[in-house]
A and B are shown apart, each in its own frame.
Chain A
Amino acid sequence: MKKLIAIAVFTLVVFTQSAYSQQSGYWSFQYAMGFGTGDLGAYVSAPSFRGGLIEYRKAIKDNLLVGVDFGWNVFYEKKDSDTYTSGTEALSGVQYRTQNALPMLVSAEYFLSTDNALKPYVGLGIGTMYLERSTDMGQWRLEENPWSFAVKPELGLLYEMSFSTSFKLAAKYYNGFKTGQLENQGYFSISAGFTFHL
């Protein structure tokens, strides 16, 4: 019962609290997790818990912010000894697979509500993603490092804690388009962190 009351009070406070200020923009620093899909998911099945994100946003309207993102996620997996065959050749050994993904995007965020402290938004980013895929086997490394065109749809929440600081929680999907070296590289990301208002 006490738990229910606490949750109810928290919800009321968060959803009805008025916004501290009009938005002018912010810097944001977030921790980001990644979950590979498609070719990236097949290459490294383990999620990435090594990641971060820096965002800069400037308001062009009260509910529309634009800016730039710099992200980084590291996907890593050790594949136990296995045999890889190509034609008449076969190679057995342990593989260490690492993929670094660095998206660099121009992004926009449209806030569905700006009156309350809790502000949901939808966003879209377009730009480029630098990928570095390294497959280590024995003493040899096969490296592929293309730049790809990338887009990022996003959903998130910005909770204004004070005049100068907010907490941001977001879910997004990074899609790096096919290049000459790699197929489409896509991954879901959940990020959380703080924003510092301009």
Chain B
Amino acid sequence: MKKKIIFYLGIIIMLGACYPQGPEYYEDLDLVYTNYDDQYDFMSKGTYAIPDNIVKVTGDLAEGEDPEFVKEPFNTQMLQKMESNMTALGWTKTDDPANADLVLFPAVWTNTTVYYWYDYWCWYYPYYCGWGWGYPSVSSYTTGTLVMTLVADGDDYVEPTRTWTAAANGLLSGAYNASRVTKAIDQAFEQSPYLDIK
């Protein structure tokens, strides 16, 4: 009898998969993605323009309304980091986007995911399903994304064309600290050696 119990217990334990350890710090979930147009000749270009503010994409902008912008000091911190990286790669900033070879458009958005469960014990006994027993548990998390796009325009193009895109994504920690974002901006340029025109 004992052997049978041990045997079936062993089977039950073994049928489940095991995931030993997960992330411990917010930084462990930070991701930086980049992609570029390999047909675009970056080496023949040299100037770029960048807005003074980073827009916050909220999805509910009405026509004629001004968008929201990232608050200071984070706005300046992030823009300065982008500009210093572009300068280090040999690019020259111009004030007029009409005269620049490329325009760097930064934007941010946040996304909140809410999840809940209440059918956790249905497998055990259907009576205990649903709202009749056990409380529903609700939790949420918010992620932030910074997107930087280098856009080419002018006589050579029918419409503005994306030549490089970078996206940095991570969980929002609630701490007012731009270091994770500025680190992600550095990483985006570091993994884009084709932007080096020196």
Contact = CB atoms under 8 A, between A and B. Distances in A.
A198 to B, nearest CB: 9
Contact of B191 (A50, A72, A83, A98): A83
Interface string A103-143: 00000000000000000000000000000101011110000
Where chain A touches its partner, the secondary structure class is: strand
Contacts of B17: 74, 98, 100, 132
A91 B31 contact: yes
Contact of A91 (B15, B20, B27, B33): B33
B22 A136 contact: yes
A17 interface: no
B23 interface: yes
B20 A29 contact: no
Contact of B19 (A29, A134, A138): A134
A93 interface: yes
Chain A interface bracket (under 10, 10 to 19, 20 to 34, 35 or more): 20 to 34
A187 interface: no
Given A83-B191, A88-B35, A139-B143, A93 B20 contact: no
Given A72-B14, A89-B35, A102-B14, A54 B7 contact: yes
A164 B85 CA distance: 73
Contact of A50 (B6, B20, B35): B20
A27 B34 CA distance: 55
B174 interface: no
Nearest to B143: A139
B36 interface: yes
Nearest to B32: A92
B187 interface: yes
Contacts of A71: 14
A45 to B, nearest CB: 15
Interface string A21-63: 0000001010000000000000000000010101000000000
Nearest to B19: A98
B29 A139 contact: yes
Contacts of B37: 88
A90 B191 contact: yes
Interface of B is mostly: mixed
A94 interface: yes
Contacts of A134: 19
Contacts of B21: 76, 78, 96
A70 interface: yes
A149 interface: no
A42 to B, nearest CB: 19
Given A90-B191, A100-B17, A29 B10 contact: yes
Given A70-B11, A88-B37, A98-B19, 18 more contacts: A50-B20, A52-B14, A54-B11, A71-B14, A74-B17, A74-B18, A88-B35, A89-B34, A89-B35, A90-B33, A91-B33, A94-B29, A96-B21, A132-B17, A138-B30, A138-B169, A139-B143, A139-B171
Interface of B: 3, 6-7, 10-11, 14-15, 17-23, 27-38, 143, 169-171, 187, 191-192
Nearest 7 A/B pairs, CB to CB:
A138-B31, A93-B31, A72-B14, A92-B32, A76-B20, A100-B17, A74-B18
29 contacts: A27-B3, A29-B10, A50-B20, A52-B10, A54-B7, A54-B10, A70-B10, A70-B14, A71-B14, A74-B18, A78-B21, A83-B191, A88-B35, A88-B38, A89-B33, A90-B191, A93-B30, A93-B32, A94-B28, A94-B29, A96-B21, A96-B22, A98-B19, A100-B17, A102-B15, A132-B17, A134-B19, A136-B22, A138-B29
